[in-house]
Structure 1
């Protein structure tokens, strides 16, 4: 049996990725990690997708954006390492009515950093996720 090596994503990780490389204006803020807060209009403009978790490589939703949503009922785990986003995430916006979770380890194991439904985190502090759970 031959095995395809063209895809690094397993069948259990069926998801849609929107890798949007457009740079956004950065409002860089330095400080302690912010707790999840309701998504405001500025954050909504940075993540215009519905039912999606947008991740940014700078604080305050700046820099490059990586968007992910589950196509599987009940949710799925997405490896950030497989997409080149491991250790890159600095802020997040969740436009879904379901919570999302960021994990310091691959395969969504360990204690999660929650991003509540319809909320955002402008600064993850020293937390560097390796995987995410999206519903």
Structure 2
């Protein structure tokens, strides 16, 4: 028996249902913290000043270029980082949302997720290189 997901729009095509902001930044923040998720401190939060948003950075400790994404679809949506030129680029992340975000090593949010807790940050993703993200 197969079940329908309730959507006929492929996840990759939901891009129009998202608000995404990409901006280059030159700020580097202090020394690297452990790879474990922690609360978004004020220094990290200053690099992601958007509410209910997942910010990805192409350097550890929230430095370098920033890609910010949030869902405008109730329940959340999958965003292909490959489609936006951010596949394999993210090295750190800040989640300012009250719900978890998830990073995936495959496109279309497939495979085991790497969670970014609500209102938390990851200063170093280690060797994990996301290809897609789920934001809600």
Aligned-partner SS, 2:55: strand
TM-score, normalised with respect to structure 2: 0.86
More strand by share: 1
Match of 1:17 among 3, 12, 20: 20
Q: How do residues 54-133 of structure 1 correspond to structure 2 at under 5 angstroms?
A: 54-133=55-134
Query: In 2, distance between residues paired with 1:115 and 1:57?
Result: 16
In 1, the alpha carbon distance for the partners of 2:113 and 2:16 equals: 18
Aligned match of 1:26: 28
Question: CA RMSD, aligned part only?
Answer: 1.7
- List gaps (5 residues or longer) in structure 2: 1-11
What is the rounded CA distance, in whole Å, between the counterparts of 2:30 and 2:90 in structure 1? 14
Query: Across the two proteins, how many residue pairs are aligned to each other?
Result: 125
In 1, the alpha carbon distance for the partners of 2:65 and 2:27 equals 10
